[in-house]
């Protein structure tokens, strides 16, 4: 009997609505579900679902290692779930008793490139309930810079483009045709209707081919480019001055020498009101700026947005300028000709692009890993956010919006960690604004703790998927650290290079063998309003179980059932969706999902301010200053020229694979049997390399091999190679990247920011 079961493909962030076709209990195919807001089409990964489900390489039973660590063969021996879970719980408790909960780290694979989104909340909750502030995760190279770092500018994430109403769409280091199909669909429709498209990418990839302006930026020169575009908007008065005056902290006065915001403290103690200062142009005097007080809401037109002033303070005369002036001055440094030298973008194209932004609003934008995997990723993201702020379209129709989300409870459970435990997070002290604040730790800090016991020892790791050996720099250090661990558990659908170091591996069911809740599909208000509980369409293969089942089982063994709603997943899900008014039964009865009537409200800052320190969109970040970071974006001038390594190395995603996954699936492997490296034919000719020939790519850190694929769109000093391969004949891209040279604020690695050379 054939069944057609609605759901969504959970394999990547696109979460494409799909129909699973099941015949006599066997998954036959996965098809598009056009009525679903993300269901118009599926990519080859989604269509290959039956190959994933029935792969002979799937892990089907829990196993323990019987050979010493470091041995070529771990000597995996099947064990029961009971033995696995009780052994794990005993080990974790022993380590906690001896050294504290922080000696146990957790790991989780990326929700943007896997189906771990089904269990992400429970895995984090388990870590926190156990008392560990350390969960290793891809975030610093992935979503941190779009979801969390922008808090320091917008008091929120970058939001989501309101594509249906956008007049111009700016894609910056983001290639949705490969990485987020459902967004690409919306952009295509917008372009068809006449929206302008601007793409900033060293490669002419995906939608760049349809762009009105494609800016072939020099890798990692995005920060200076954002400043140069902002300079055009400001100097030509092509920005929304009223928005910036009223809703940003641009009018606040900055101490010129000390680069800090002036406050009433500077004026002396007789000031009743505490707060920041601004310059009242009508009365030519300093005023206290209380962003929430009614009189300032009314009188803000009198406040100076531009200018430098000398003011009397308790300590004498002080020179100051407005925060906006400070930003404008920083931008003015990036004239078109200077920017051309720094970014390789012709001066005239910079001017034309700025004009397009000005004339074709409403403008929306999206940026992702093209700008997030750089040595200055945080300031780059800030520079792009500030450029966008100038347009005035944040949360406005056609701009980047915060669509109304289904109101689900936040059960990540950060609050289960005491302040004291949270402060112990690895890297929190060194990077107080980084992912450590959310309980996420970089592999670099984790390995340091394992190897050097600095600042304390990590003895155990329990990881739900992930393959940091291949997806983060320096596999050598990773291998050594994982071998050093007293106890390592890895739960996965497949063994991988990282899991090879485990003491116990746990078999995880594929997303077609387990249910998953997705509250809101992100890309529009309509998509965001859909809550869907994807059903399991076939039973789990072998002994495999969902990550959630494993988490709840472990929680029980660890005596943490109370934090896990009595250990019952349905009851936990009910708590999660409680605020929506839905019930789990209702969702189970509607596998196609339930659409809530959520209203899109624009410009919410008018009612509730921005969730920042100053309650305004922050052009000047006092939080950054307090942590010793430049409060206005600045960028290193040296380009790390190297005659020994003349080429610049970048990487990108490919449609057939997510990161290091899917190489086992025949149809996908056939599509891309070995790693390619894209290069300009001229560069190839200079090295006597023909298309399809093998070449080696060498950086200061290592060497790999890949097959030449010509791409005329690349600059002659840029090559784009693939990561996620590990086989001895190819090598691992991320061994070309330095692990100790990263963004000082977020710890983002320079995955697209290395120098290299090639040889045939
Ligand atoms: N050079 C370079 N390196 C990169 C990037 C880049 O662009 N260039 N991109 C970076 C980015 S953006 C990211 S997000 C990271 C990703 O880094 P990782 O999270 O390490 O991703 P994967 O290599 O995809 O590893 C996924 C592993 O999890 C398993 N898995 C998949 N689904 C599930 C599931 O539902 N449950 C469990 N338990 N396991 C599952 C897979 O089988 C696989 O073994 O890589 C980063 N690394
Ligand atoms: N098929 C597929 N889809 C995926 C994934 C996958 O692995 N495979 N992974 C998922 C995950 S975890 C993530 S984070 C997203 C990522 O989604 P994207 O960020 O779209 O992924 P990429 O293709 O890695 O990078 C986007 C573009 O950045 C460009 N780029 C490289 N260096 C630079 C630079 O210095 N500056 C600029 N401006 N651009 C640069 C690349 O040429 C590329 O076209 O995709 C998700 N979707
Ligand atoms: S883009 Fe492909 S892998 Fe991602 S959700 Fe859609 S069908 Fe699945
Ligand atoms: Mo990612």
Between the CA of 497 and the centroid of ligand 1 the distance, in Å, is 12
Half-sphere exposure of 590 (CA within 13 A, CB side): 13
Quote the pLDDT of residue 561: 95
In the structure encoding, which two tokens stand for residue 90, read together?
């005993």
Between the CA of 369 and the centroid of ligand 4 the distance, in Å, is 7
Quote the pLDDT of residue 427: 94
Q: Which spans in 100-180 are helix H?
A: 120-130, 144-147, 151-154, 176-179
Is residue 67 domain-shared with residue 47, that is, in the same domain? no
Q: Which residues line ligand 1 (CB under 6 A)?
A: 109-110, 112-116, 138, 141-142, 369, 373, 464-468, 470-471, 491-494, 496, 508, 547, 651, 658-661, 723-724, 733-734, 751
Ligand 1 atom with least separation from CA of 467 = 20
Is residue 561 domain-shared with residue 440, that is, in the same domain? yes
Quote the pLDDT of residue 636: 82
Between the CA of 702 and the centroid of ligand 2 the distance, in Å, is 23
Residues 611, 144: Cα–Cα separation, whole Å: 18
Residues 285, 287: Cα–Cα separation, whole Å: 6
Is residue 354 domain-shared with residue 474, that is, in the same domain? no
Quote the pLDDT of residue 453: 80
Residues 479, 447: Cα–Cα separation, whole Å: 9
Provide the CATH number for the domain around residue 23. Answer: 2.20.25.90
Q: Which of 20, 29, 43 to mutate to test the pocket of ligand 3 (most atoms within 8 A of CB)?
A: 43
Q: What are phi and psi of 467, to 5 degrees?
A: -145, 60
Burial 548-568 (b: 16+ CB within 10 A, else e): bbbbbbbbebbebeebbbeee
Residues 671, 43: Cα–Cα separation, whole Å: 13
Ligand 3 atom with least separation from CA of 180 = 1
Q: Residue with structure tokens 């502030």? A: 133
Residues 63, 545: Cα–Cα separation, whole Å: 14
The answer to whether residue 225 is domain-embedded is yes
- Among 369, 401, 433, the domain-final residue is 401
Between the CA of 468 and the centroid of ligand 4 the distance, in Å, is 12
Would you call the peptide bond into 170 cis, given omega within 30 degrees of 0 as the criterion? Answer: no
Q: Which ligand is nearest to the CA of 748?
A: 1
pLDDT means per 10 residues, the chain with 760 residues, are: 96 98 97 97 98 98 95 95 98 97 98 98 98 97 96 98 98 98 97 98 97 97 98 98 94 94 85 83 88 57 92 90 98 97 97 98 97 96 98 98 97 96 95 96 95 92 97 94 97 97 98 98 98 98 98 97 95 97 98 97 93 94 96 82 88 96 96 97 97 96 96 97 94 93 95 92
SS3 label, residue 231: helix
Q: Which ligand is nearest to the CA of 109?
A: 1
- Using CA atoms of 663, 665, 666, 669 in order, give the dihedral in degrees to the nearest 10: -30
Is residue 731 domain-shared with residue 743, that is, in the same domain? yes
Quote the pLDDT of residue 289: 86
Ligand 1 atom with least separation from CA of 491 = 38
Is residue 114 domain-shared with residue 7, that is, in the same domain? no
Quote the pLDDT of residue 390: 98
Between the CA of 515 and the centroid of ligand 3 the distance, in Å, is 17
CB atoms within 10 A of CB 287: 21
Is residue 382 domain-shared with residue 518, that is, in the same domain? no
Is residue 467 domain-shared with residue 500, that is, in the same domain? yes
Q: Which ligand is nearest to the CA of 17?
A: 3
Is residue 686 domain-shared with residue 560, that is, in the same domain? no
Ligand 2 atom with least separation from CA of 659 = 7
The answer to whether residue 755 is domain-embedded is yes
The answer to whether residue 607 is domain-embedded is no
Between the CA of 655 and the centroid of ligand 2 the distance, in Å, is 11
Q: Which residues line ligand 3 (CB under 6 A)?
A: 9, 11-12, 14-16, 42-43, 45-46, 181
Q: Which ligand is nearest to the CA of 725?
A: 1
Quote the pLDDT of residue 55: 98
Is the minimum distance from the CB of 175 to ligand 2 under 6 angstroms? yes
Q: With contact defined as beta carbons under 8 Å apart, do 519 and 577 qualify?
A: yes
Residues with CB under 5 A from ligand 4 (ion): 110, 112, 142
Between the CA of 472 and the centroid of ligand 1 the distance, in Å, is 10
In the structure encoding, which two tokens stand for residue 731, read together?
């090598």
Q: Which of 173, 211, 676, 755 to mutate to test the pocket of ligand 2 (most atoms within 8 A of CB)?
A: 173
Pairing of strands 308-313, 316-322: antiparallel
Is the minimum distance from the CB of 713 to ligand 2 under 6 angstroms? no
Ligand 3 atom with least separation from CA of 12 = 4
Provide the CATH number for the domain around residue 672. Answer: 2.40.40.20
Whether pTM > 0.85 for this model: the answer is yes
- Among 556, 578, 595, the domain-final residue is 595
Is residue 389 domain-shared with residue 503, that is, in the same domain? no
- Among 378, 401, 424, the domain-final residue is 401
The answer to whether residue 294 is domain-embedded is no
Between the CA of 464 and the centroid of ligand 1 the distance, in Å, is 11
Quote the pLDDT of residue 290: 75
- Using CA atoms of 543, 549, 553, 558 in order, give the dihedral in degrees to the nearest 10: 130
Residues 755, 218: Cα–Cα separation, whole Å: 12
Is residue 559 domain-shared with residue 668, that is, in the same domain? no
The answer to whether residue 304 is domain-embedded is no
Domain enclosing residue 732, as ranges: 647-759
Between the CA of 743 and the centroid of ligand 2 the distance, in Å, is 18
Is the minimum distance from the CB of 201 to ligand 2 under 6 angstroms? yes
Quote the pLDDT of residue 215: 98
Quote the pLDDT of residue 313: 85
Ligand 3 atom with least separation from CA of 15 = 5
CB atoms within 10 A of CB 94: 14
Provide the CATH number for the domain around residue 95. Answer: 3.40.50.740
Quote the pLDDT of residue 641: 65
Total domains, the chain:
4
The residue contributing the CA closest to ligand 3 atom 6 is: 16
Quote the pLDDT of residue 274: 74
Between the CA of 118 and the centroid of ligand 3 the distance, in Å, is 15
Between the CA of 222 and the centroid of ligand 1 the distance, in Å, is 25
The answer to whether residue 327 is domain-embedded is no
The residue contributing the CA closest to ligand 3 atom 4 is: 12
The answer to whether residue 251 is domain-embedded is no
The residue contributing the CA closest to ligand 2 atom 41 is: 652
Between the CA of 112 and the centroid of ligand 1 the distance, in Å, is 9
CB atoms within 10 A of CB 70: 11
Quote the pLDDT of residue 299: 52
Q: Which of 13, 45, 52 to mutate to test the pocket of ligand 3 (most atoms within 8 A of CB)?
A: 45
Between the CA of 115 and the centroid of ligand 4 the distance, in Å, is 13
Is residue 464 domain-shared with residue 393, that is, in the same domain? no
Burial 467-493 (b: 16+ CB within 10 A, else e): bbbbbbbbbebbbebbebbbbbbbbbb
Provide the CATH number for the domain around residue 216. Answer: 3.40.228.10
The answer to whether residue 390 is domain-embedded is yes
Q: Which CA distances in Å does 600 have to 68, 489, 650?
A: 58, 44, 38
| Burial label, 600 (beta-carbon count in 10 A; 0-12, 13-18, 19+) | middle
Is residue 671 domain-shared with residue 712, that is, in the same domain? yes
């Amino acid at each position: 009997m054939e069944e057609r079961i609605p759901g969504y493909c959970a394999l990547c962030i696109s979460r494409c609505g799909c129909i699973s076709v099941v015949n006599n209990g066997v998954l036959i195919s996965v098809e598009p579900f056009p009525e679903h807001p993300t269901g118009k089409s599926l990519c080859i990964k989604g269509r290959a679902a039956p190959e994933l489900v029935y792969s002979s390489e799937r892990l089907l039973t829990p196993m323990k290692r019987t050979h010493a660590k470091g041995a070529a063969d771990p000597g995996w021996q099947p064990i029961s779930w009971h033995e696995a879970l009780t052994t794990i719980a005993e080990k974790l408790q022993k380590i906690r008793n001896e050294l504290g909960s922080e000696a146990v780290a957790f790991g989780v694979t990326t929700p943007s490139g896997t189906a771990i989104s089904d269990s992400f909340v429970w895995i984090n909750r388990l870590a926190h309930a156990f008392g560990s502030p350390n969960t290793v995760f891809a975030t610093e190279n992935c979503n941190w810079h779009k979801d969390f770092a922008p808090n320091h500018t917008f008091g929120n994430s970058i939001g989501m483009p309101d594509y249906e109403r956008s007049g111009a769409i700016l894609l910056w280091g983001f290639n949705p045709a490969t990485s987020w199909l459902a967004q690409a669909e919306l952009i295509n429709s917008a372009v068809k209707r006449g929206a302008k498209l601007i793409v900033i990418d060293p490669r002419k990839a995906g939608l760049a081919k349809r762009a009105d302006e494609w800016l072939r930026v020099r890798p990692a020169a995005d920060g200076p480019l954002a400043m140069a575009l902002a300079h055009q908007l400001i100097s030509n008065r092509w920005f929304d001055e009223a928005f910036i005056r009223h809703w940003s902290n641009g009018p606040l006065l900055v101490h010129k020498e000390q680069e800090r915001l002036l406050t009433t403290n500077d004026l002396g103690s007789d000031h009743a009101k505490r707060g920041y200062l601004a310059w009242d142009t009508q009365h030519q005097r300093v005023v206290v700026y209380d962003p929430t007080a009614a009189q300032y809401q009314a009188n803000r037109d009198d406040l100076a947005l531009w200018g430098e002033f000398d003011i009397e303070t308790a300590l004498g005369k002080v020179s100051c300028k407005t925060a906006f002036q400070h930003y404008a001055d920083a931008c003015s440094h990036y004239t078109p000709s200077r920017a051309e030298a720094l970014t390789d973008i012709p001066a005239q194209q910079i001017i034309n692009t700025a004009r397009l932004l000005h004339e074709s609003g409403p403008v929306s934008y999206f940026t992702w890993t093209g700008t997030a995997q750089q040595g200055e990723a945080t300031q780059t993201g800030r520079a792009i956010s500030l450029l966008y702020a100038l347009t005035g379209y944040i949360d406005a129709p056609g701009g980047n919006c915060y669509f109304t989300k289904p109101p689900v409870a936040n059960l990540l459970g950060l609050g289960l960690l005491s302040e004291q435990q949270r402060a112990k997070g690895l890297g929190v002290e060194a990077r107080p604004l980084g992912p450590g604040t959310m309980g996420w730790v970089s592999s670099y800090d984790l390995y340091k703790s394992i190897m050097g016991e600095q600042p304390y020892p990590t003895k155990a790791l329990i990881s739900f998927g992930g393959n940091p050996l291949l997806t983060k720099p320096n596999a050598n250090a990773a291998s050594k650290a994982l071998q050093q661990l007293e106890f390592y558990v890895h739960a996965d659908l497949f063994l991988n290079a990282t899991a090879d170091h485990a003491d116990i591996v746990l078999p995880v069911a594929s997303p077609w063998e387990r249910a998953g809740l997705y509250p809101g599909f992100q890309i529009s208000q309509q998509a965001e309003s859909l809550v869907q509980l994807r059903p399991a369409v076939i039973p789990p293969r072998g002994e495999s179980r969902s990550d959630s089942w494993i988490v709840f089982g472990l929680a029980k063994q660890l005596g943490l059932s109370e934090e896990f709603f009595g250990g019952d997943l349905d009851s936990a899900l009910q708590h999660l969706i409680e605020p929506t008014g839905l019930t789990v039964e209702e969702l189970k009865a509607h596998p196609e999902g339930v659409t809530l009537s959520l209203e899109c409200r624009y410009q919410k800052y008018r009612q509730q301010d921005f969730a920042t320190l100053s309650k305004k969109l922050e052009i000047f970040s006092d939080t950054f200053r307090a942590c010793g970071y430049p409060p206005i974006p600045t960028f290193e001038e040296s380009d790390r020229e190297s005659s020994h390594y003349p080429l610049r190395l970048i990487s990108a995603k490919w449609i057939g694979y997510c990161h290091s996954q899917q190489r086992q699936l025949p149809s996908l492997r056939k599509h891309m049997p070995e790693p390619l490296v894209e290069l300009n034919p001229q560069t190839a000719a200079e090295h006597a390399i023909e298309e399809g020939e093998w070449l080696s790519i060498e950086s200061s850190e290592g060497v790999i091999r890949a097959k030449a694929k010509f791409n005329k769109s690349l600059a002659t000093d840029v090559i784009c190679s693939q990561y996620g391969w590990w086989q001895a004949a190819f090598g691992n891209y991320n061994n070309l990247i330095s692990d100790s040279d990263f963004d000082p604020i977020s710890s983002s690695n320079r995955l697209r920011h290395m120098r290299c050379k090639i040889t045939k």
